[in-house]
């Protein structure tokens, strides 16, 4: 039974291409300004105390690894791509329920569990496109700038970002089965991912509240550590994957019990 997976994958194609194009373009803009801020970055690092930079997740900003990990990934991947995944998955169920498309879908011999799983599985389309597109664009950009980057750590920073995006999708799918209105589900999912990103950043500022940041998904994905120090936190990725599975389980639990 893959009819729903096929249909949803096809539906995600257009949006995925647009998103990948936009994010690649945005990354290209970042890379273009890299040479000019490279010098300032060195100055920046001298002025600010070490702990401050570390807390902001900014290290070695004058190197291409530090720049990618401190600027491009937090913004393009963690914030924008995270919001996209939350937003899209928040519409997966709620829109079908709203338009009564779900009535027809569920008149087929397909379980509600299967509907949710197939819909989420269709996110392979943006996951693959975004990874391939960003990897190629960043590699090409780095080479064009006359810099070099370890392809392994560049691969890892993409790969370990996947569980993070899945958690964002998990947040979206939970809202998608809870809320009746598509707009509400999408706004709530988008808003929560944004707030998490903000809380994670702000919680660094105050040691008393640092524990709050532990509740945010972006705490378990550190592009700077991966790119600059080649630290591949597989345990953290495991936590994110487990979080995604829990969210998916909650969504299925809610969806199989509710009226549509």
Judged by the rule CB under 8 A, the positions of this chain that interact with another protein are 1-3, 6-7, 11, 96, 99-104, 106-112, 256, 259-260
Nearer to another protein, 49 or 109 (CB): 109
Specify the residue, 55 or 260, whose C-beta has the smaller distance to another protein.
260
Q: Which ranges in the chain belong to alpha helices (H)? A: 3-47, 50-55, 64-67, 82-98, 101-105, 112-121, 124-144, 151-159, 161-178, 182-203, 210-213, 223-229, 234-257
Minimum distance, C-beta of residue 1 to another protein, in the bound complex (Å): 7
Contacts for 204 with CB less than 8 Å, ≥ 6 apart: 55, 56, 57, 210, 213
109 Cα distance to chain centroid: 33
Q: Which is nearer to another protein, 108 or 148 (CB)?
A: 108
Q: How far apart are CA 196 and CA 213, in angstroms?
A: 8
Q: Return the number of the residue (105 or 153) whose C-beta is nearest another protein.
A: 105
- In the bound state with another protein, the residue whose beta carbon lies nearer, of 8 and 60, is 8
Tell me how far, at minimum, the Cβ of 60 lies from another protein, in Å. 47
CA distance linking residue 102 with residue 258, whole number of Å = 13
Q: Are 83 and 121 in contact (CB under 8 A)?
A: no
CB of 251 to another protein, least distance (A): 16
């Amino acid at each position: 039974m893959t009819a729903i997976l096929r249909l949803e994958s096809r539906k995600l194609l257009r949006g995925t291409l647009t998103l990948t194009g936009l994010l690649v373009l945005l990354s290209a803009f970042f890379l273009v300004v890299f040479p000019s801020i490279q010098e300032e970055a060195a100055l920046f690092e001298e002025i600010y105390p070490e702990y401050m930079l570390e807390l902001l997740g900014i290290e070695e900003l004058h190197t291409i690894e530090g720049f990618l990990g401190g600027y491009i990934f937090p913004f393009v991947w963690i914030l924008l791509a995270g919001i996209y995944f939350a937003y899209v998955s928040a519409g997966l169920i709620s829109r079908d329920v709203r338009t009564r498309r779900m009535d027809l879908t569920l008149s087929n011999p397909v379980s509600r569990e299967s509907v949710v799983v197939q819909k989420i599985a269709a996110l392979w389309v943006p996951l693959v496109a975004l990874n391939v597109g960003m990897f190629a664009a960043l590699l090409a950009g780095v080479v064009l700038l006359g810099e070099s980057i370890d392809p392994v750590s560049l691969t890892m920073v993409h790969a370990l970002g996947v569980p993070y995006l899945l958690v964002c999708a998990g947040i979206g799918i939970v809202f998608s089965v809870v809320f009746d209105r598509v707009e509400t589900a999408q706004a709530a999912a988008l808003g929560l991912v944004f707030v998490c990103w903000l809380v994670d950043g702000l919680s660094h500022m105050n040691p008393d509240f640092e524990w709050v940041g532990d509740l945010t998904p972006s705490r378990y994905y550190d592009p700077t550590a991966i790119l600059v120090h080649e630290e591949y936190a597989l345990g953290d990725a495991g936590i994110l994957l487990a979080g995604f599975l829990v969210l998916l389980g909650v969504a299925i639990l809610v969806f199989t019990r509710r009226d549509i």
